[in-house]
Amino acid sequence: MKTLKQRAVLRDLEATVEENLSRHLAVAEDWMPHEYVPWSQGRDFARLGGEPWSAGQSALSPIARTAMELNLLTEDNLPSYHRELARSFGRENAWGAWLNRWTAEEGRHASAIRDYLLVTRAVDPERLERARMAAVQAGFDAGNKALLNACAYVSFQELATRITHRNTGRYSADPVAAKLLARVAMDENLHMVFYRNLVTAALEIAPGQTVRAIAEEVTGFAMPGSVVPGFGRMAAQIAHAGIYDLRTHHDDVVMPLLRHWRVFELEGLGSEGEQAREDLAAALGTLDARATRFTERRAAASSLI
């Protein structure tokens, strides 16, 4: 298998980045986060002589609050994501321009969701702030991913984030939250399309190497929010509620992208690429079986209630 060095991959994909940055700028809507926040519900907290936070002040269900809190804390770690992607993409030309644009858009997500949660008193603001401090200080380390791995990872991650935001909004049963999170999800979708197109181009330039990167990122996938304090407990509640679970991950995130890339129909992968595709098939089998076990256990547990 022809293995391209990082520098060659950056150079070979630059025209695709440029083209997709222009396409993105033409279709991305410059939405205003303040328009999505119900400011009329806002009031002072204790230090300004107002009422301190208490759990009964919001009608949102505990699981909807947990999901929104985890979504926000995940978005809050943007400085780390920027650093990790800058390490892979560099700061030059269209790569750098895209990264800065993407960062500016992602920053809007955290500020809009935080405003919503504070104004509606849906989460404990002190706990939220302490968790944000802890998550940002822990940082997110992508582990020095090679460029193709970074592109594959963010394709899956942006799609996962789109689905999480969208499903959280629906689950919240609050039309204001649903509208805000649907708006954020539209951004995540455009981000996913950008990275997905890079991977598509990479499959043409270096198919075997790209399939290897995809296989590695499917196998070791972890959500960027995994550094948030209490992530395991929160993710379990979110999975139990059906907002995002292993079945969602397999059916709605991994498989649609693999189908789009026609990974199992590609030819000319070379022996290493073929091996990578076999490893990918094995990883998918394991993920599918785990997803089935999880949904069976969940169904059994709910039938006992």
Q: How far is the CB of 107 from Fe ion (least distance, A)?
A: 9
Q: How far is the CB of 99 from Fe ion (least distance, A)?
A: 12
Q: How far is the CB of 301 from Fe ion (least distance, A)?
A: 32
Of the residues 84, 106, 115, 245, which one makes contact with Fe ion according to CB under 5 A:
106
What gap in Å lies between CA 53 and CA 123, rounded to an integer? 8
Report the residue number, 76 or 216, with the smaller CB distance to Fe ion: 76
By CB under 5 A, the count of residues binding Fe ion is: 6
Report the residue number, 174 or 188, with the smaller CB distance to Fe ion: 188
Of the residues 109, 166, 247, 277, which one makes contact with Fe ion according to CB under 5 A:
109
Contacts 24+ apart (CB under 8 A), 122-130: 122/58, 122/60, 122/64, 122/65, 122/68, 123/65, 123/68, 123/69, 124/53, 124/55, 125/45, 125/53, 126/53, 128/69, 128/72, 128/73
Report the residue number, 109 or 166, with the smaller CB distance to Fe ion: 109
Of the residues 24, 145, 166, 191, which one makes contact with Fe ion according to CB under 5 A:
191
String marking each residue 275-294 x if it binds Fe ion according to CB under 5 A: --------------------
Report the residue number, 69 or 188, with the smaller CB distance to Fe ion: 188
Residue pointed to by tokens 């039938």 = 303
| Piece in contact with Fe ion (CB under 5 A), picked from 59-67, 73-81, 83-91, 235-243 | 73-81
Instruction: For residue 114, state whether it binds Fe ion (rule: CB under 5 A).
Output: no
Cα radius of gyration (the chain): 20
What gap in Å lies between CA 236 and CA 300, rounded to an integer? 16
Instruction: For residue 162, state whether it binds Fe ion (rule: CB under 5 A).
Output: no
Q: How far is the CB of 105 from Fe ion (least distance, A)?
A: 7
| Piece in contact with Fe ion (CB under 5 A), picked from 32-40, 58-66, 71-79, 230-238 | 71-79
Residues with Cβ < 8 Å from 278, sequence gap 6 or more? Answer: none
Report the residue number, 53 or 194, with the smaller CB distance to Fe ion: 194
What gap in Å lies between CA 69 and CA 139, rounded to an integer? 17
H or E element in which residue 122 lies: none
How many angstroms separate the Cα of 172 from the Cα of each of 24, 27, 69? 30, 28, 12
Q: Are 243 and 168 in contact (CB under 8 A)?
A: yes
Number of residues that make up the chain: 305
Instruction: For residue 188, state whether it binds Fe ion (rule: CB under 5 A).
Output: yes
Residue pointed to by tokens 């809507």 = 29
| Piece in contact with Fe ion (CB under 5 A), picked from 6-14, 105-113, 260-268, 273-281 | 105-113
What gap in Å lies between CA 180 and CA 198, rounded to an integer? 28
- Residues forming the site for Fe ion (CB under 5 A): 75, 106, 109, 158, 188, 191
